[in-house]
Amino acid sequence: MADTTDFSTKCQILADLWMEYRDDEAFKELLDYADLGFPIAYLIDNGIIENSQSTEPFIESTFDLLLKLLKVEDIGFEHLNHLFEVAEENDKLN
> What's the pLDDT score for residue 94?
61
> What's the pLDDT score for residue 2?
54
- Has residue 73 got a pLDDT over 90? yes
Q: What is the pTM of this model?
A: 0.93
> What's the pLDDT score for residue 25?
96
User: Which of 7, 2, 3 shows the shortest CA–CA distance to 57?
Assistant: 7
1-49 pLDDT tens trace: 458 999 999 999 999 999 999 999 999 999 999 999 999 999 999 999 9
List helix spans (H) across 1-94.
7-21, 28-33, 37-45, 56-70, 80-93
> What's the pLDDT score for residue 7?
97
> What's the pLDDT score for residue 90?
86
User: Which of 27, 31, 23, 18 shows the shortest CA–CA distance to 87?
Assistant: 27
Domain residue spans of the chain:
7-93
